[in-house]
Amino acid sequence: MANAKQSAKRRLTMSERAQQLMLVHFPEIPEAWKWTRKTHDGFSTVPRTLPIAMQIIDAQSKGQPAGHVLFCLWARMPDHPVITIESPSTFAAEAGFLGERAVDTWRRRMKKLRELSFIITKPGPSGEFHYVMLTNPNAAVEWMRRNNKVQDGLYGRFIDRLPEIGAFSDIEALHAHWVAEEEAKKAAAAAEAAKQALSAAAPPPPPPALPTKPKRIRRAKANA
């Protein structure tokens, strides 16, 4: 009886609710037009806040919007944050940049993403962006907010979205990291100051003794 009550009170997941809506509103749609990650290949896992993060990026890179470039990186992510870019021209074309200066345009957008902490890069055979690590976009947006790089309206939408998807803990974890980082810096500074104070209080070492000349031993003249 208790199990039945618990089952009745269980809330439907987002996927289950969507399936019910599918049966009610779109029952006649053939399977060939449906796409689900459980039955189709060629998908990537992306954060649900990515659309807002892209808008925030574009607002900070007016004239050279880089939000779509970040989306293309996430679409290529192999369910791991590190991507190897062997052909920058391919990534530039996917981001919509064509022509002789396509790769240069793409690289400028990549530099902007790195500047805003959405990617971390290491050089390699293909150039400056051969190895790319995608950071948590929620952490990157919070970093931008801390550095006064996010408009209030966009940040408000971002903060409202986090609890809806259960991702507010990302922000809490980042703040805890910053606190630990500051404490580590203070501890290191205090240790260095104590070391300097101890060095200043200690008496100076005695001057080194001057070397003495070895005495010459005169050899006795042999008897004639």
* pLDDT of 210: 73
Q: Which residues contact 3 (CB under 8 A, 6 or more apart)?
A: none
pLDDT of amino acid 218: 63
Model confidence over 108-153: pLDDT tens digits?
999 999 999 999 999 999 999 999 999 999 999 999 999 999 999 9
pLDDT, position 216: 66
- Ordered by start, the domain boundaries in the chain are 50-168
pLDDT of residue 171: 95
Residue with more model confidence, 189 or 219: 189
Which of 47-51, 54-58, 59-63 bottoms out in mean pLDDT, i.e. has the lowest?
59-63
Residue range 156-175, pLDDT digits in tens:
999 999 999 999 999 999 99
> With contact defined as beta carbons under 8 Å apart, do 130 and 123 qualify?
yes
**Mean pLDDT of the 189-196 span:** 90
Half-sphere exposure of 65 (CA within 13 A, CB side): 11
Q: How far apart are CA 101 and CA 112, in angstroms?
A: 17
Locate 223 and state its tokens: 């008897």
Is the model's pLDDT at 15 over the cut of 90?
no
Q: What is the pLDDT of residue 214?
A: 66
pLDDT in tens, 70-120: 999 999 998 899 999 999 999 999 999 999 999 999 999 999 999 999 999
Does residue 55 contact residue 65 with C-beta atoms inside 8 Å?
no
Q: What is the pLDDT of residue 215?
A: 63
- Output the six-digit token pair for 171: 């922000």
Residue 201 has pLDDT above 90, yes or no: no
pLDDT over 90, % of the chain: 68
- Name, of 4-8, 41-45, 159-163, 202-206, the range with top average pLDDT: 159-163
Q: What is the pLDDT of residue 74?
A: 97
Please name the residue ranges forming H helices in 77-126: 88-94, 102-115
Q: What is the pLDDT of residue 220?
A: 57
Q: pLDDT band at 58, cuts 50/70/90?
A: very high
**Mean pLDDT in residue range 60-75:** 94
Whole-structure pTM value: 0.79
Please say if the pLDDT value at position 223 is more than 70. Answer: no
Architecture of domain 50-168: Orthogonal Bundle (1.10)
